[in-house]
Amino acid sequence: MLKERFAKKYIVKIDFGKVSRTVAMPFEYGIDGCTFSGTLQKVSRNEVELISKIEGKTTHYCDRCGKSYDETLDIELKLQLSDIPISGNDSLDSVEFLDGMIDIDELLHSELESIKTTYNYCPECKDDNSTLEVEY
């Protein structure tokens, strides 16, 4: 049951130094009906590779008709995490954690935020290819 899973105590911050180079470290975290799970593995002294999945549901408000609707999430997310400033960091796929702690909660929140700005039409409006205003 989902409820049971969310009642588990999650590790929200992971020490950079504890991530192994040889064995991928699994993690699982959940908020607001979403689970964020995957593995962390060091690829170099200051770099950790995160391979993960975000699954669940999130509520959006349609930009067109204003109705709220549930979006089912099934997203593969691969990120490079660094505990030093990344030079020329213009990639959306790299995240800095300068205090040496990987903040799983922050990663999930920022990912959900970016999803919310991407998917902004409810299923009805998505299917509606006409340019007419929706009456409600």
Taking CB under 5 A as the binding criterion, the range among 10-18, 34-42, 54-62, 81-89 that sits at the site for Zn ion is 54-62
Structure tokens belonging to residue 107: 């990663």
Taking CB under 5 A as the binding criterion, the range among 3-11, 50-58, 74-82, 123-131 that sits at the site for Zn ion is 123-131
Looking at 53, 64, 109, 116, which residue binds Zn ion (CB under 5 A)?
64
73 in Cβ contact with 34 (< 8 Å): yes
Separation CA 100–CA 42 (nearest Å): 13
Q: How far is the CB of 74 from Zn ion (least distance, A)?
A: 21
Which CB sits closer to Zn ion, 13 or 64?
A: 64
Q: For residue 52, give the nearest of 119, 121, 112 by alpha carbon.
A: 112
In the chain, what are the helix, strand and coil shares in percent, each to the nearest 5? 20, 40, 35
Using CB under 5 A as the criterion, what x/- string covers residues 7-36 for binding Zn ion? ------------------------------
